[in-house]
Structure 1
């Protein structure tokens, strides 16, 4: 009988020890999972905070690009864009005279690029009502408009939309 009591006490002790070990392991896993979740949450917050700061820091740069660099590029590209359109249309134009109408500040830039022979008469005219990024190519009854000002405006609007949308995302998490 004594031996049976000793064996029962040993099994009870062994079972209690085993249960304590399982509980300790479970508690450790719960603590580790909780710490890991907190670290991920902290890291996510840090990421969004850093992203917000980078976006805020980039916003003035992007606005300066849209305000100063893109208009200069558009001004320089206007003549090249007209030249490209003329080359593409040269077969369809035939012997018709072509008139290119631009803003007064673009006369020199456009005239300089059109010194080559296209096989049809070509003239450049200024129009005070046009902005610096606009040009009209007229031949016969056909007119093709080029409006880089509109493109720059669209780029600026898209940039502002991008910045505002990202600010909302960062603010809302």
Structure 2
């Protein structure tokens, strides 16, 4: 006995009038156009989605690279700043004080010239720290045709001087320049250490 009656029959009878439908050329063209539009639309959507995903990956990669680059730049800048600390300390303790000492006389002469132009024929008084007068006296005699009274004051710190011509008075303070430069260098190094 056969079990064929228990199984479903998938055989199609193509001659069955309910199954066969004839399509005219216009209907067939419309089916083709609809299929083309669906395929084109699906392809376009896939391309847009792929482009969006690519843009997202590129943007994320760019952001990571920029972050790495920024970190590397800041790290390099910090390391460079910290490696310059001994040079800055040497500059502040050795080079700049010597330079200021050498330029102290020049500052005083320039200030006196400026004041002398404004206060012609007035007596000049220059108050300097102890021990500086011997260096300044030959320069003052050479630079000025009018007499400059030179007074050494023990209480006056190195790098400072007081100039008076008539009623006008000016202070020369090279040591405050050194302090300002030193504070700026210390602040810079402190910030560089904080970043690292």
- Compute the TM-score of the two structures, normalised by the length of structure 2: 0.69
- Three-state SS of the structure 2 residue aligned to 1:126 is strand
RMSD: 3.0
Paired residues in the alignment total 169
The Cα shift of 1:21 comes to 3.2
What is the distance in 2 between the residues matched to 1:93 and 1:138? 12
Partner residue in 1 for 2:47: 21
- Three-state SS of the structure 2 residue aligned to 1:125 is strand
- Three-state SS of the structure 1 residue aligned to 2:163 is strand
The structure carrying a bigger helix percent of its residues is 1
CA spacing shift, 1:135–1:23, aligned 2, 3 Å = same
What is the distance in 2 between the residues matched to 1:105 and 1:117? 20
The Cα shift of 1:13 comes to 4.8
What is the distance in 1 between the residues matched to 2:46 and 2:116? 90
Partner residue in 2 for 1:161: 187
Q: Indicate which of 69, 72, 82 corresponds to 1:46.
A: 72
Partner residue in 1 for 2:108: 82
Structure 1 residue runs of 5 or longer lacking an equivalent are: none
- Compute the TM-score of the two structures, normalised by the length of structure 1: 0.77
Q: Indicate which of 143, 147, 150 corresponds to 2:176.
A: 150
CA spacing shift, 1:36–1:2, aligned 2, 3 Å = farther
Tell me if the contact between 2:109 and 2:143 (Cα under 8 Å) persists in the aligned partners. no
Structure 2 residue runs of 5 or longer lacking an equivalent are: 1-20
Cα deviation code 1:52-91 (max 9, x no counterpart): 1122222332232222222111111111111112212224
